[in-house]
Amino acid sequence: MIIITLVLELIGKTGKNTLAWMWLISFASALFSIFTGWQLSIGSSYPENQLFWHKWLGISVAAISFLLWAITKFVEKRKNLFSGALKVGLIVLLSLGGHIGGQLTHGNDYLVEAAPGFIKSIAGYNPPEAVDLSGIEPDSITTYEHLIYPFLEQKCAKCHNEKSMSGNLDITSVEKLLEGGDGGEVVIPGDVDESELFRRVTLNQNNVKFMPTNGVPLTYYEMALLKWWIENGAHFKEQTATIKMPAEIMTGINKLYKIDFTPKPWYEKESGPKIDTMALEAFAQGGFKVSGMSKSDNYLEVSPLGTDLGSPIDFGPLKENIIILDLKNTEISDANFEKLSELKNLIRLQLNGSNTETEDLLKIAPLPRLESINLYGTSIDDGALDYLASFPSLKRIYTWQTQVTPEGIAALQGKRPDISVENGIN
């Protein structure tokens, strides 16, 4: 209203009576704003200093609107220096008062938060950035410092810091956070329902008590982490790796910070015995395709170039380097089945489409690290499953188009529920 009235004054085509009415309505709406603002401030914990200025700037805006009404209505020569100065003053007070009001409800940085980068840099605004902890050794991570505080700092600290202690709460240091706010302590170790810090972020977003009052709410995983931290005693120094971590928390930490707490398989922790390059060359010349798994380890994937393996394969010193062996669609002799027993580090064995039968499998001593075996399209039967149950690390068996029966699979899973059988549609 005030701005419209000022513009109409400037254009100069509106009659005195209309303008007087406009000033009166401006005054009334200013009064109304003062009333609602005053209501909001009762029992609230807005920073006092800002509240003081917002209140008095608002009151002066109302007072000047009233004066301008009086001048417009009663003063003969109403366009004088005094009323001009009042109008300029009004614009200044209105902008300032409005700005401080914005800071009160939306935080001090509300103006520049969403602004383009160059405006942010002019305003000297550099918000805390998203954290990438991927370089850090998981063992050296402290739950609060590395996993909880970063998002609190990002999403709450602009209103809850030393200077602007909304709700009398400062979260920027552990000591202050522990002191809590107007309502007392905000973190109750082990009790999320009583912990105001958690309760506020999980309220319905329309609730006036919802935090943050402005800006980006906590994400699903941030809430999950906060809850997990409080439930586990809200420790400030604890190493994350020392506490029990549900799978969901592991996923959350990975998503938020790119740290991987999932237990690593042995072949990612060890790099294997050094490869004997002479033996490797000789082996490859014997008719095998050999490829390295990664630059940082000595593990190999091997497959024959032809389909007839012929004479017994000599794995030589490469025995422990081979972790994947692909013998699909090949003719494997009895001697070669026995040879496979030497591959103590084998993780994956592909025998699909080969001549493998159940009694052939029995010639392979249980491979300690074998995780996956593909027997698709071979003539194995339930006896093979029964034998494979003795392979301690086995996780997956592919049995489409074999003699394996549902009963055989059920019997295996009774013994080894950790093995999944991919039986496709027979």
Q: Which residues bind ligand HEC (CB under 6 A)?
A: 44-46, 106-107, 155-156, 158-160, 166-167, 169, 180-183, 186, 196-197, 200-201, 209, 211-215, 218
Which of residues 101 and 180 has its CB atom nearest to ligand HEC in the complex? Answer: 180
Which of residues 183 and 190 has its CB atom nearest to ligand HEC in the complex? Answer: 183
Which of residues 197 and 421 has its CB atom nearest to ligand HEC in the complex? Answer: 197
CB of 209 to ligand HEC, least distance (A): 5
CB of 143 to ligand HEC, least distance (A): 17
Residue 251, CA distances (Å) to 137, 257, 412 in order: 17, 10, 31
Query: CB under 8 Å to 134, separation ≥6 — which residues?
Result: 257, 258, 259
Query: CB under 8 Å to 269, separation ≥6 — which residues?
Result: none
CB of 43 to ligand HEC, least distance (A): 9
CB of 115 to ligand HEC, least distance (A): 17
Which of residues 219 and 251 has its CB atom nearest to ligand HEC in the complex? Answer: 219
Residue 299, token pair as written in the block: 């593990």
Which of residues 177 and 323 has its CB atom nearest to ligand HEC in the complex? Answer: 177
Let me know if 291 is exposed, middle or buried by CB neighbors in 10 A (0-12, 13-18, 19+). exposed
Strands (E), 183-286: none
Residue 404, token pair as written in the block: 């394996």
Spatial separation of the C-alpha atoms in residues 162 and 145, rounded to whole Å: 18
Which of residues 164 and 356 has its CB atom nearest to ligand HEC in the complex? Answer: 164
CB of 48 to ligand HEC, least distance (A): 12
Is beta strand 288-292 parallel, antiparallel or unpaired with respect to 372-374? unpaired
Do the Cβ atoms of 240 and 260 come closer than 8 Å? no
Strands (E), 248-331: 288-292, 300-304, 322-326
Which residue is listed with tokens 């120094």? 237
CB of 34 to ligand HEC, least distance (A): 19
